Structure 1
Amino acid sequence: MAGTRRRTGTARRRRWPRRVLLTLLLVLVLLVGYGTGLYFWADQRLRTTDAFGAESDRPTDGKGTDWLIVGSDSRADLTPEQRKELHVGNDGGLNTDTIMILHYGDNGPYLISIPRDSYVPVPGHGHNKINAAYSMGGAKLLTRTVEQATGLRLDHYAEISFLGLVDVVDSIGGVTLCVPDGGLHDEKSGADFDAGCQHMDGVQALQYARARYSDPQGDLGRVKRQRQLLDAISDKALGPGVLIPPWKLIPFLRTSLDALTVDPGTGVGALATMGWKMDRLAGTATVPVASEPYVAGVGDVVEWDPGEAEQLFAALRADTAIPTFDTN
């Protein structure tokens, strides 16, 4: 009997590693299946728009990867109640409040804000504010305008709407944003925040990022808050509290995919890389500004500093470290 017990114990000890191995293999198969299914589900959910034309005058390929990230302020899909809640008014035009370039390669990642009132050549339309390109010709004209103004050949395009941004922030349970000294109180955007770090839901985050009329820096101050918000979203979304539990990850992915519009060449893999890079920014900047004059028939505009702006874009094209004249 003792020998039988010893043989049984030995057999159990021999089976134990095999059971562990089989369990680990089963978990691995389930994880791979879950990830593969999630990938194909997400890829089929992507909305696309023709963002790049076939013009022969596009810039040559530079080094690294360049995204154009656009925040559309179209009110077309908003109900009157939503327009009131979001403090966005009833403008029926197609405009963009946010224009950013994300660059990564051997250097970076860098996130560069282009002021929406930048006074640049718009192909076929003379000089105008850069966001007028989006209003006149949608994504295609905007990407062409940005490429010709910067000399960068863009690789990807991603656009998010007012309501989409609100929904994304809410899907991750809000974000924490630190309001600088003096607070931020802007009646037009609805922002009403005292100084200090505080939790904000989607509506509050949008109000914070859109405020400009009470900011002495105007739109130049707003672009900094837009970058701050994107950084907060990336930090929260790529944390274990959202990425690990399926009941958190799937609603976030569904909301994000529904909020985004990308070019047909951009898939889920590229979007995942973009999100990863956004959480690891090496620097941020605004295109250097020389003056903010008034132009008849156009309004108040932003004129770039030609020398410093070209230094910035040349660094991005060559995938070298960006100048440090403005990395806030």
Structure 2
Amino acid sequence: MTEDDRTRAMRSPGDGRPLPPRPSDGLRSGGAPAHHLPSGGPGAPTHKLPAAAQVPESPRVDEPVRGSSRVYGRERSGKSPVRPFKSRGQEPPRGPGGPAGRGGGPRGPRRRISWKAVVAVVAGLLVVLLVAAVALFFVIDSRLSGIDGVLDDYEGRPADTPGTNWLLVGSDSRKGLTAAQRKKLATGQAAGQRTDSMMLLHIPEGSDKPTLVSLPRDSAVTIPGKGRDKLNSAYAIGGPKLLVRTVETVTGVHVDHYMEIGFAGFVDIVDAIGGVEINVRAAVNDPKAGLNLKKGVQELNGSQALGYVRTRKGGALPDFERTKRQRQFLGAVVKKAASPGVLLNPFTSIPLAFSATDAVEVDSGTGAFNMLSLGLAMGDSPVTTVVPFGGNEVIPGGGTAVKWDRAKALALFDALKSDQPVPKEVVDAS
């Protein structure tokens, strides 16, 4: 009995019947069946089966078995195939033969954005914006309508003073308005052109704030060559040129720039910026101005804003209250126009620029750069006041006019001429 027979007999059941052979009992090293191997001692020749009939070697314990869920001694749930082992820091192969990306194709190398490319794109955009801004600046400059001779010299004209002085005029011109627009805006059918509001803006050379002074239209003044009359009569008699000369004569302040706006331009500018927010201090109902406003903060469109600055309703001194509303409105318009929401939006800034150039008339020496400095000054929250006055004066042509407080008025204009802050008592009086 051979050694294998004795081993089989030892694990046979008690009835002496041998157990069926195990699969491994029929193979020897080399893969040949046991009964084909000759018995003998060491060194006996062995016979191998052909390669197709050989049984593959058992897999190593550190490799996954195809179709098995046991990996590295742990059970995996599910039927998904086992991924190959990847050590820390090791990337799977890419390209052909590597793991597929989304869509089934091979995953290509990631593209990194170069900082040089980003800087180049940003620089290109800045150049385009700069060129567009410069082009728009020159377009605006070419569209400004200049009035010749407004600031011509004359004998006895006040000398140039420190700082920059603007005479800002709102006229009652109906130019450009249709009959329907005149009716809607309640401007009336009056012919000719008169000054509806006048302000003197002083922009200092130093760090002090600008000063905006209202000149009441009914002020009693001496018009050169015409005698004593209301201030707004100077414009009706001799236009912008005589008005500038009259203001310089009675104030002693040298006017450097002149700007005028009519009814139509006023409405267009307000509508171009989408209306303006005004705190109405008292309810106003004035059918002649086409105005009916409640008290409180509210958004006014162009038509309402025009009525708001023109009405004489409200207050014990209607003309005084009117000048206060005009200064309030002018500051609100400039603040809205200079806001980022308007300036940085081409759909509002460009129409505003074109509306403004169509709406205003300036002296022939004023350009877009001067208009920019005016806007910046108005956006700097200027000190606002009105020429101090007290009592009335009967004028030769009939009627009464507002008489200025001579001492306080001189203190105000002397401060502007010397480029100094306006005295506090003058500001408080407004």
Flag whether TM exceeds 0.5 (same fold): yes
Establish whether residue 22 from structure 1 lines up as the match of residue 123 from structure 2.
no
1:162 equivalent to 2:263? Answer yes
Determine if contact 1:167/1:202 at 8 Å carries over to the other structure: yes
Residue of structure 1 in register with 2:151 after alignment: 52
Q: Which of the residues 329, 333, 336 maps onto 1:229?
A: 329
SS for the counterpart of 2:421 is coil
Specify the alignment match of 1:86 in structure 2.
185
CA pair 19-279 structure 1, distance change in 2 beyond 3 A: same
CA distance 1:76–1:246, shift in 2 (3 Å): closer
Which residue of structure 2 lines up, in the alignment, with residue 264 of structure 1?
Answer: 364
Letter of the aligned partner of 2:189 in structure 1?
N
Q: What residue ranges of structure 1 are gaps of 5+ in the alignment?
A: none
Q: 1:326 to 1:80 in 2, by over 3 A?
A: farther
Paired residue for 2:296, among 196, 207, 228?
196
TM-score (normalised: structure 1): 0.93
What CA distance in whole angstroms lies between the structure 2 residues aligned with 1:231 and 1:261?
20
The answer on 1:135 being equivalent to 2:233 is no
TM-fit CA distance, 1:83? 1.7
Q: CA deviation at 1:160?
A: 0.4
Give the conservation status (yes or no) of the 8 Å contact 1:111–1:281.
no
Aligned counterparts of 1:229 and 1:154: Cα–Cα separation in 2: 23
1:109-158 per-residue CA deviation (whole Å, 9 max, x = no partner) reads: 11100000111111111111111111111110000000011000011000
> Is residue 168–residue 252 contact of structure 1 (8 Å, CA) maintained in 2?
yes
Q: Deviation at 1:80?
A: 2.1
Alignment of 1:39-118 (within 5 A): 39-50=137-148, 51-105=150-204, 106=206, 107-118=208-219
- What corresponds to 2:19 in structure 1? none
Report the alpha carbon displacement of residue 269 of structure 1 after superposing the two structures with TM. 0.8
CA RMSD of aligned residues (A): 1.9
Deviations 1:157-176 (A, max 9, x none): 00000111011000000011
1:168-207 equivalences under 5 Å are 168-181=269-282, 183-207=283-307
CA distance in 1, matches of 2:288, 2:316: 15
Once the 2 structures are TM-superposed, how far is the Cα of residue 29 of structure 1 from its aligned partner?
0.9
Equivalent of 2:136 in 38, 44, 62: 38
Match status 1:319 vs 2:319: no
Give CA deviations for 1:272-292 in whole Å, capped at 9, x if unaligned. 110111111231000000212
Q: CA deviation at 1:108?
A: 2.4
Counterpart-to-counterpart distance in 2, 1:108 and 1:140: 28
Question: Structure 2: which amino acid aligns with 1:246?
Answer: P
CA distance in 2, matches of 1:32, 1:267: 19
Deviation at 1:90, TM superposition (A): 1.6
Question: Deviations for 1:13-36, whole angstroms, at most 9, x for unmatched residues?
Answer: 6x7121122112201210111111
- Count of matched residue pairs: 320
1:294-309 alignment to 2 at 5 Å? 294-309=394-409
Q: Is the contact made by 1:76 and 1:92 (CA closer than 8 Å) also made in structure 2?
A: no
- Displaced runs of 4+ in structure 1, greater than 4 A? none
Deviations 1:85-106 (A, max 9, x none): 1112121132011100111112
Deviations 1:164-212 (A, max 9, x none): 101100000001111114x122232122111111111000001111011
Deviations 1:2-55 (A, max 9, x none): 9xx9xxx99x76x71211221122012101111111011111110010211221
How far apart, in 1, do the equivalents of 2:175 and 2:189 lie?
9
Relative contact order higher in (CA < 8 Å, ≥ 6 apart): 1
- The answer to whether 1:149 aligns with 2:149 is no
* Larger helix share, 1 or 2: 1
Larger mean CA deviation between 316-325 and 72-81 belongs to 72-81
TM-score scaled by structure 2?
Answer: 0.71
Q: Secondary structure at the residue paired with 1:139?
A: helix
